[in-house]
Amino acid sequence: MDISLVIPLYNEEDSLSLLTDWIFQSLKDEKYKFEIIFVDDGSNDKSWEVINKLIKVNKNIKGLRFLKNYGKSQALQAGFTEASGKYIATLDSDLQDSPEEIIEMISLLDKGYDLISGWKKKRYDSLVFKNIPSKLFNWAARRVSGIRLHDFNCGLKVYRKEVIKSIHVYGEMHRYIPLIAAQKGYNKIGEKIVKHQARKFGNTKFGTNRFLRGFIDLITLWFMNKFGKRPMYFFGLWGTILLVTGLTFTIYIGIDKLYFDTRARLITNRPEFFIALTLMILGSQFFIAGFIAEIFLSKNRVRNQYTIVEKIPKNDN
């Protein structure tokens, strides 16, 4: 298999047939063999019925259906696990991504890139609720990650198989796959301007709160990249600073009480006492958090965070 197209979806029954026709129209004259992997993320409309009908017509199509709505990251991870192509492409199911871009993006991979990300330079989205927040988000992502992509959120991306098979996407981390890949050593990341289409059916499944979650995820990835292998470097450093500062206050209070404070004032009545006590407690907690993190890292705790309730075809033969 040359190309695996992984398409996560949630309540997109009206778009799936049109998207499938569009993909076949875009790739039918090319030299590549391809498969389409639809991952139904717990839809409550007729999306799965549509996928079943499409599979009966064409054996190039596979379908995975989740027990419930787990999220786009889990849907992508399930599709990545199932994919067998030399190149793995992702695109959204809402007809806003153009599948004819895929071949040109693959040709860029053949020039030595590990992954190519789409850039929706001209968007057909709400200026206030999507365009401006997206620009701010992408600016922050570039600053923190050091990866010079204009559009981290673009669903249209193409990867080499070895890149995708080396990473694990979870939580809300799908928008940061380029960063996760770079942390694994796949830092030859390119970008291509792609066409963005206006949504034809339904409404967006993502609210404005996704940007807040995105910033939190970005901080998490930054921390994991810097201290993920040895969290004690972070917790131990700050624990030491807090403990030393608290101990310094304690020594100061003791010396002052013994030699300089002539008043009969209790140490517990001095604000320095509570500052020292607080700092030493916090420092101890940082050390404990570091030790616990090190213990967890010593075990292999990566597990799938989704449940596939149905798969078509039943096997790979």
pLDDT reported for residue 301:
47
Q: Do you know the residue count of the chain?
A: 317
In a domain, 38, yes or no: yes
Query: Is residue 139 located within the same domain as residue 286?
Result: no
- Alpha-carbon Rg of the chain, whole angstroms? 26
Reported as a single tens digit per residue, the pLDDT across 92-150 is 998 989 999 999 999 999 999 999 999 988 776 655 556 677 788 788 888 878 888 99
Query: Is residue 42 located within the same domain as residue 152?
Result: yes
Reported as a single tens digit per residue, the pLDDT across 163-215 is 999 998 887 788 889 988 988 889 999 999 998 877 777 666 555 566 667 67
> Listing from the earlier edge strand, what are the strands of the sheet with 61-66?
189-193, 115-119, 157-160, 87-90, 3-9, 34-40, 61-66, 308-312
Query: Is residue 44 located within the same domain as residue 190?
Result: yes
- As to burial, measured by CB atoms within 10 angstroms (0-12 exposed, 13-18 middle, 19+ buried), residue 255 is exposed
Query: Is residue 184 located within the same domain as residue 272?
Result: no
In a domain, 95, yes or no: yes
Range scoring the smallest mean pLDDT among 61-75, 81-95, 166-180: 166-180
In a domain, 306, yes or no: no
Domain of 280? 232-297
Q: Could you tell me which residues come within 8 angstroms of residue 156 by beta carbon, excluding any fewer than 6 positions away?
A: 89, 90, 91, 92, 97, 98, 101, 102, 105, 117, 118, 194
Query: Is residue 269 located within the same domain as residue 131?
Result: no
Reported as a single tens digit per residue, the pLDDT across 12-39 is 999 999 999 999 999 988 889 999 999 9
Share of the chain above pLDDT 70, in %: 86
On whether the CB atoms of residues 119 and 104 are closer than 8 A, the answer is: no
Cα torsion through 261, 267, 269, 273, rounded to 10: 110
- In degrees, rounded to 5, the angle at the alpha carbon of residue 164 between the alpha carbons of residues 159 and 167 is 140
Q: How far, in Å, CA of 61 to CA of 52, rounded?
A: 9
Share of the chain above pLDDT 90, in %: 44
Q: Which of 177, 209, 227 is the last residue of a domain?
A: 227
Q: How far, in Å, CA of 72 to CA of 143, rounded?
A: 24
pLDDT reported for residue 125:
60
Give the tokens for residue 63.
Answer: 């379908």
Query: Is residue 275 located within the same domain as residue 137?
Result: no
How far is C-alpha 53 from the chain's CA centre?
31
Query: Is residue 215 located within the same domain as residue 247?
Result: no
Query: Is residue 143 located within the same domain as residue 275?
Result: no
pLDDT reported for residue 203:
66
Is 0.75 topped by the overall pTM?
no
Range scoring the smallest mean pLDDT among 4-13, 84-93, 242-251: 242-251
Query: Is residue 151 located within the same domain as residue 251?
Result: no
Domain count within the chain: 2
User: CATH number for the domain including 178?
Assistant: 3.90.550.10
Query: Is residue 267 located within the same domain as residue 202?
Result: no
Alpha helix stretches (DSSP H) within the chain: 16-27, 47-57, 72-82, 101-109, 132-145, 161-164, 177-183, 209-227, 232-255, 271-297
Bridge partner list, 308: 66
Query: Is residue 190 located within the same domain as residue 246?
Result: no
Q: Which of 227, 247, 280 is the last residue of a domain?
A: 227
| Mean pLDDT across 144-157 | 88
Query: Is residue 163 located within the same domain as residue 202?
Result: yes
